[in-house]
Structure 1
Amino acid sequence: MLVHDTVTTGRSQAEVDRIRQSLQSRYDELTAEYEQAVQQSQVLRLVEIGDTAGDDQADSGTKTAERDTAQSLLRTILDRRAQFEHALSRLEEGTYGFCEGCSAPIPVERLEIFPAATACVSCKQTRERRAA
């Protein structure tokens, strides 16, 4: 399916370009956010390495919790960035906006709230019920 095929996707080239710009902008924001989080994590590690004298269990626990939080943040940003990268590739393939499960169109309102959505509401609910 081609991106330029408005009969299949129902989108004009202007709409595709607007969507691409929006997805790319968010991807770039997440990349910058990730780079900033990596720098903060490195600073935290340097402070942690240089400031261990006199630490008790509570200090060690706090440092471990801070390190775990920083790593969790990095993983979350990378996951979100990967979602937008996937959305951009789906846009290029001409499948953006269609459910990966049932191929039905994903409602525009859902895509406005969550631009990287890959499933319609029904398929998403089914996945969540199975995961629970």
Structure 2
Amino acid sequence: MVVKKTAAKKTTPAKKAATAAKKAVKKVVAKKTAAAKKTGAKKVVAKKTAAGTVASAVPASRAAGEPGVLPVRPGEDPWSASEVLEARAELLAEAERLRAEIASSEASVAGLLRDSGGGAGDDDADTGTKNITREHEMSLAATAREMLAQSEHALERLDEGTYGRCESCGNPIGKARMQAFPRATLCIDCKQKQERR
């Protein structure tokens, strides 16, 4: 008898974080569903805040992020519940990763600033290297902050039901584009116009 060995799938930290975020969202939503029914709300929205994940009941008139409600381009299938949850989980995981990256960069910059004093034995090359390293870390932190703001904005748009709608022209961005780049706020045409300027 021949036994085939299969390679174990390696899970990346990003996938683990996304899976954990999905489970957390599902757990919070499940716990708050009973409370939502008591208030007459039709939708429960889980939102990640600095204090943790918070679920709130959203009235039926503002039940955003529901499958089939988010805009799609002609010929695309409507958003399913699992696709909406996947987009939310991916954005939450990305926001968490960016917060950790910002904290790491800020700690590095603080360490570099602390050690940047004119210590004995430092020559101009050492000082220049420290300055370049500090500026690089500050640049990484600024980029991470910008991406975090974009991720949080995308989560807000998902809650409001405007996720997937171009902020410039108002047309649907496209489900495929939103799945490839969840923080997108412009359709391809408007993005190309913006890049030409």
SS of the equivalent of 1:48 reads coil
Q: Distance in 1 between matches of 2:186 and 2:192?
A: 9
**What is the match of residue 158 of structure 2?**
91
Q: Distance in 2 between matches of 1:109 and 1:12?
A: 13
**What is the match of residue 6 of structure 1?**
68
CA contact (8 A) 2:116 2:127 kept: no
Of residues 79-88 and 15-24 in structure 1, the stretch that sits farther from structure 2 once superposed is 15-24
SS of the equivalent of 1:99 reads coil
Q: CA deviation at 1:8?
A: 5.6
TM-score normalised by structure 1 residue count: 0.84
**What is the match of residue 182 of structure 2?**
115
Q: Distance in 2 between matches of 1:117 and 1:39?
A: 30
Q: Following superposition of structure 1 onto structure 2, how do residues 7-86 of structure 1 map, counting pairs within 5 Å?
A: 7=69, 9=71, 10-49=78-117, 52-86=119-153
Q: Distance in 1 between matches of 2:176 and 2:65?
A: 21
TM-score normalised by structure 2 residue count: 0.59
Which has the larger helix fraction?
A: 1
Alignment equivalent of 1:104, drawn from 164, 171, 189: 171
**Long gaps (5+) in structure 2:** 1-61, 72-77
Structure number with greater CO (CA < 8 Å, separation at least 6) is: 1
CA contact (8 A) 2:70 2:163 kept: no
Letter in 2 for 1:15: E
RMSD (CA atoms)? 2.0
Letter in 2 for 1:3: G
Percent of pairs with identical residues: 41
Letter in 1 for 2:186: A
**Long gaps (5+) in structure 1:** none
Q: CA deviation at 1:14?
A: 3.6
Task: Say if 1:80 and 1:20 are closer, same or farther in 2 by CA, change over 3 A.
Answer: same
Q: Distance in 2 between matches of 1:17 and 1:111?
A: 13
